[in-house]
Chains A and B, each alone.
Chain A
Amino acid sequence: MRFNALIVAVCLLAVGGLVALQPVREALGLALDDSLQLALIHAELAMAPLLFLPVLGTRHSVLSNLTTGAACWAAAAAVVLLFSFASMGDLGWESRSLSAAVWLACVGTLSLAARVGSSWVGRTRVALLCLFGLPPLWHYLMLEYSGVSGARMKSLSPNWGLATHELTLWPLIALGLLCIGVAVAIPNRERA
């Protein structure tokens, strides 16, 4: 997708602009300070599976998806860092490694799905959204109904890790690299 980075930049700028509007900001309990940038980083991490649009096709498309993913990551980073004007801290800069790991995981899994079949891309998106967003809910339900903690799932959920300052990058990097490896390993389909 040639304009994937543009889509990422437009979407995140729109989110940033929306959150900066006074009624929205007050409703969310945010101010024009570090909290605005933090909200944008959470949005970036949560939206990465939706915003990345993989190219379907042969092994060569995996390389193309990788470079597109890198461009998307850089565009998202530029938007997040643009909102540093309101921030005293260096959270925008410090969260870039986590963001890179998330984009790598999205690129890897969605590229693999794109190699398998177009219908799998949507399913993978839903799975990624559940994986990134829902572990806190699973943790709560597990605690509530079986008294077992699901805090180990924190390493899978970047938003949860960011909120609790316990970032674990290796599961996301491992997932991304593994999926890219498998996507490259799948042989091209012979033309009939």
Chain B
Amino acid sequence: MRLLLLLCLFGSILTAQTIDTEKSRFMGSPNGRTGSYAPFRVVVEGLGGTDSIILRSVSGGVVLEKQVAVAGVETAEVVIPVLVADDAVVSVSSGPGDALVDEYRPKLPLRRIEPDYARPYVAVFSTDPLYARGVLPSAPNSAICDYFELSEFFGDWRLLDAYDVVVIFNPSDLRLPPGSQRAIAEFCSLGGACLIVGSFRLGEKAVDLPPPAEPTIINFRDVQAQRFGYGPGAIYRFGAEDLRRSRSAQLVLVDAMLDHTWYGADRAPAGKPESRLAPQRTPTPTPLPPDDASPTPFFWALGGGLLLLCGLVPIVAGRISKRTWPAQILLLVGCSGIGALALIQTRPLATVEASALVRLGEGGAASARMFVIAEEGWHDAIKVKLDDASDRSLPRRMPSEPGWRAWVIDTPLVGVTKSELESIEMAFGMVGDVSFRDFGAQARRGETEFSTSEAFLVEWWLEANAYRGRRAALDPMEWPTGLPRYEDARFVTRGAMGVTSRREGG
């Protein structure tokens, strides 16, 4: 009876937990960049008696998981990254067996923000969002901004995934929350720009992060800014007083943003800007043929055992009984046993092939975009634990060939080793003396520094980036450290290519 009562009590606790669909929403709403992860505030109610819950952000082929301690509270508010896509679902699990308690399909933001060289998408953090809104208004023809309190600065770069630029207004010398230094470093290592107005006091000390490059001084409309290159990204620092005295703080800040996104040039490069959205075509080479599986001694033993069983049982049974059916029943049981044992043989692992595009720049920071294709027998979804400090990757599903699944996985702050081969400079659509398309064809034929596997990546990148206004150095690379590896698969690396974007004027 007690057990029954306990079960009823437990059941009532489970059913009481729900996602408040009125209060749960994308924090940047009505703005949102389709195909990227945006910060989503989940409000879970009825938590009495529960110690912890697991929140999951599920979208096609990707599961982001966060464990939240909720002991002693009735309602919890948690911010997690959720993909701005039709199939995105937020779910809550708790209790033994990780039972699903509630799930919710978020309402998507109404205003779609496309990647655009002229209109960066900006997250603005300020002690006074109203002041920030006045200084840097969201305008459809300049910068499109979402405003947040400085105290809620995200400690995980994955919440900043949708944004091109982060602006921090901190004139009152407030300390940023713990985790912000790493989040800023990771965001910049992935090519983002961080504009800091005022003080830059971080909540943590002695974080093991690569240092930025030496600062350079740049004038934006007579306002001086320090620019710290950080891998492919950069940190711009303005004095709060200098900005206040300027004629238009908004124009100054937008100029700084465009300085980064236009690579220091006066006008925007041609084509579409690089963004973290998944491309439509995977640049991985044609998959290698599978390794031939070879039979183990267990196979030979079972095969021999089967022949012995089928040969001896009828003879022995024939000596005991004249009837045939007892021997056949024995054979049925014996062969079924051998079949069951055959099922526990070591099986070949599914193949997962990966190519990496490493983004380098000033200082020692670098990030990688790993293109992964996996045989369909592997997992349906890649799971990432948001609490795991050692894994800061963010996967996205992409279209794939039949029989395969494909993901693109962004990983910040990876360790890189350049190959001993020389860099290749790409400028004005030319790589050395040849056009970028001819260079791609040469790479396919194995006539360049890149391997024929890396040629797919080279050709794909050049096709997307070799237009006006883009200059870059391309490097053959060793496979970077710090990228996810999958132990339950035959993980094959097909090559890595480094890209260092060059700014105009050096």
Contacts and interface: CB of A to CB of B under 8 A. Distances in A.
Interface string B289-310: 1101111100100110011001
B290 A31 contact: yes
Contacts of B375: 88
A175 interface: no
B332 interface: yes
B338 A78 contact: yes
Interface residues of A, number: 34
A145 interface: no
A87 interface: yes
Given A71-B332, A84-B343, A85-B346, A6 B310 contact: yes
Interface residues of B, number: 41
B377 A81 contact: no
Interface in A26-81: 31-33, 55, 63-64, 67-68, 70-71, 73-75, 77-81
A186 B55 CA distance: 67
A3 interface: yes
Contacts of B335: 5, 9, 71, 74-75, 77-78
Interface in B286-342: 289-290, 292-296, 299, 302-303, 306-307, 310-311, 314, 318, 323-325, 327-329, 331-336, 338-340, 342
A24 interface: no
B342 A82 contact: yes
A74 B332 contact: yes
B350 A88 contact: yes
A3 B324 CA distance: 10
A70 to B, nearest CB: 5
A89 interface: yes
Contacts of A170: none
For the complex of A and B, the 4 pairs showing the least CB-CB separation, nearest first, are A74-B335, A67-B328, A6-B310, A71-B331
Interface of A: 2-3, 5-6, 8-10, 13, 31-33, 55, 63-64, 67-68, 70-71, 73-75, 77-82, 84-89, 93
Given A5-B328, A31-B292, 9 more contacts: A2-B327, A6-B310, A8-B310, A71-B335, A75-B331, A78-B302, A82-B303, A87-B347, A93-B343
